Chain A
């Protein structure tokens, strides 16, 4: 058990180190701007006095290392500075949008994970039948499609041809949960189709991989039913790769929301990030980039930890 603890501590320390390096990269990136932020924002025509005043306001006159630490300290305390575009606090802009993005990703995950695992098991159970082929063709094409293609096809079908779901998912705090779910149905479905395809293929592959082991042959020779072999003997042994894939796909979901949010004009963090990039609103880009990175790194970390816990082979120190 001690081995497990040291390995977990090591892995978590690595995650924290990665985040620190990412924050340094994000910070240096802005430093590398030609000229500096003040000139970039105020434009060519600004007088030297205005530039100097603006610099003072953003504390650009202090040395970079000092600024990095004060920026980092601010980030940890939830203070990301002010937006350049409208002067509002970045944390205020980001807060409810991040919650919205998590809501979208969360609902998708709750629907997608069980469906993907069940379909994957079924595809492994009925391997090489028309059902398996149908599933493998449809997942291969979903993986090949860009997300916005899937999204627009769904809009064309479910929002224009049959007027069932809205094509624009604007939600606000006054809506009830049911109304919210109705509004975000299409973006959820788009994301779900993409992640289900990935997770299902991996689940199927993991189970089929286990099916070649001797203990499965033993179970077959004992005359057990195929469904019992898969659910009782193969599934527990395939659990570790499956858990890993699920966690990786959750991490993908967090990033995948960006494109889908833009398609459906959903007020999430991805939409804000894209808008801020085109407006070059750097504090907002820094903050939302950092939050995305944090979520992504945390979920990847979780994937590794869960894999270690569920698979004793990985617990052996190398």
Chain B
């Protein structure tokens, strides 16, 4: 593990550092943050100072505190969505690849239809009907996103399914479920891990966009996309407060992308050897 880290190029190290920074902020939010999440501590839109490193927001809350807590809320929800989407997508993909026949056809057509519809519009329509709440948000985005995971896992699992060792397992009399868990899953891990990084970025940007439109996490919870929206008015006065949370979103996405790039590069090299 350490050896691998030592060989990592600069870009991957920067990416890992960014992710680590965010994870620390996420776990130790109450320790790091100098003030409370919804505590009003100063003037409205105060410039950055010793007391408030990044200034204050539209209600006089400390921006740095909000960003640290925002890491917690935004990243936690993104992780929930990405994990759920992976669970659903992988399961669907594996089932389609092992069962084949009409199951594969039915799942494939369903996914085609969902993917023919722009994700943002679909999410907006669903949210207008069922209303915005955190569980709804997680389930809706996860299901929409799982279609992309499904496509990839199905393709990967199809390749593995025709290998000799799966044939051997089948002849041994193992069931579909056993084959999925013991043969297909371990062999499809490398592309899936890289895909997880990419999906994480996508979901993260997507949730931020929804929050920015006022349809994601609801105030007074600190959330990066929502914070940009709340402070957007400041920019026309030449106050750059909304750039901080927006920058935090960009920062984490770049970090994850750098690590994914490195990982993809690594696994393609392993395959070549």
Mark A residues whose CB is within 8 Å of B.
Answer: 18, 21-22, 26, 29-30, 32-33, 140-141, 143-149, 152-153, 155-156, 159-161, 167, 251, 254-255, 258-259, 262-263, 273-274, 276-278, 280, 282, 285-286, 289, 292-293, 296-297, 300
Contacts and interface: CB of A to CB of B under 8 A. Distances in A.
B118 A255 contact: yes
Interface in B93-135: 112-113, 116-121, 124-129, 131
Contacts of B201: 144
Contact of A146 (B126, B208, B238): B208
B258 to A, nearest CB: 9
B213 A144 contact: no
Given A255-B119, A296-B118, 14 more contacts: A141-B254, A144-B253, A145-B250, A146-B249, A149-B246, A149-B249, A152-B242, A152-B246, A254-B118, A258-B213, A274-B215, A277-B125, A296-B117, A296-B121
Contact of A32 (B117, B121, B129, B242): B129
Nearest to B237: A160
Interface of B: 112-113, 116-121, 124-129, 131, 201, 205, 208-209, 212-215, 225, 228, 232, 235-236, 238, 240, 242-243, 246-247, 249-250, 253-254, 257
Contacts of B238: 156, 160-161
Given A32-B129, A149-B247, A292 B118 contact: yes
18 contacts: A18-B116, A29-B126, A30-B129, A140-B257, A146-B250, A148-B246, A149-B249, A152-B246, A156-B235, A159-B236, A160-B236, A160-B238, A263-B232, A277-B124, A277-B128, A285-B125, A289-B125, A296-B117
Nearest to A137: B11
Given A33-B129, A144-B250, A148-B228, A160 B124 contact: no
Given A18-B113, A255-B120, A274-B215, A144 B128 contact: no
B257 A152 contact: no
Contact of A22 (B116, B129, B236): B116
Contacts of B257: 140, 143-144
Nearest to B249: A146
Nearest to B201: A144
Contact of A277 (B215, B232, B247, B254): B215
A155 B240 CA distance: 10
A271 to B, nearest CB: 10
Closest 7 CB pairs of A and B: A149-B246, A277-B128, A255-B118, A144-B253, A145-B250, A144-B254, A18-B116
Contacts of B247: 149
Contact of B124 (A143, A144, A167, A289): A289
Given A152-B243, A277-B128, A293 B121 contact: yes
Given A146-B209, A258-B120, A278-B215, A167 B236 contact: yes
B19 to A, nearest CB: 13
A22 B116 CA distance: 9
Contacts of A296: 116-118, 121
A57 to B, nearest CB: 21
